[in-house]
């Protein structure tokens, strides 16, 4: 007799059932912070267009404790988000040299190195 039983799966809480699903969700949720930061940048542009007074007020708001807290949490989320992606790059972009594949550590390392260089350039241009 054929009467297969389909086990129910919660559409809203499935990710609580496994630690690896929670890790996945953490990675996905951090992109909301990046979304919020993008929004902040657009706000900054708008203030800039409104004139120097508006822009100065905007910059001052960024320096307030709340502004610093926001920036700090976005930074932590962005670093977490980026590292989770860096760490899986060898899976998505394997490089074969001759017969062997380039070790994953080198591909990941190259991403971190590039990240450091770009950050340094931004830092130098920024000050």
Helix, strand, or coil here: 39? helix
Least distance in angstroms from the C-beta of 27 to other proteins = 9
* Virtual torsion, Cα 24, 26, 27, 33, nearest 10 deg: 150
Here the tokens at position 35 are 């979304």
Whole-number minimum distance, CB 41 to other proteins, in Å? Answer: 26
Q: Judged by CB under 8 A, which stretch of 5-13, 47-55, 72-80, 108-116 contacts other proteins? A: 5-13
Residues 56-115 interacting with other proteins (rule: CB under 8 A): 88, 90-94, 96, 98-101
E strands along 7-116, which residues?
Answer: 96-97, 100-101
Three-state DSSP state, 61: helix
Instruction: Report the interface residues with other proteins, using CB under 8 A.
Output: 1-7, 9, 11, 14-15, 17-18, 20-21, 24, 28, 88, 90-94, 96, 98-101
């Amino acid at each position: 007799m054929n009467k297969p039983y389909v086990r129910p799966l919660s559409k809203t809480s499935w990710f609580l059932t496994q630690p690896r699903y929670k890790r996945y969700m953490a990675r996905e949720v951090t992109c909301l912070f990046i979304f919020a930061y993008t929004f902040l940048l657009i706000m900054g542009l708008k203030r800039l267009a409104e004139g120097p007074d508006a822009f100065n007020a905007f910059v001052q708001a960024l320096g307030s404790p709340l502004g610093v807290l926001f920036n700090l949490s976005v930074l932590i989320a962005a670093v977490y988000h980026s590292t989770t992606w860096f760490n899986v790059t060898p899976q998505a972009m394997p490089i074969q040299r001759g017969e062997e594949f380039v070790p994953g550590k080198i591909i990941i390392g190259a991403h971190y190195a590039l990240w450091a260089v770009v950050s340094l350039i931004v830092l130098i241009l920024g000050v």
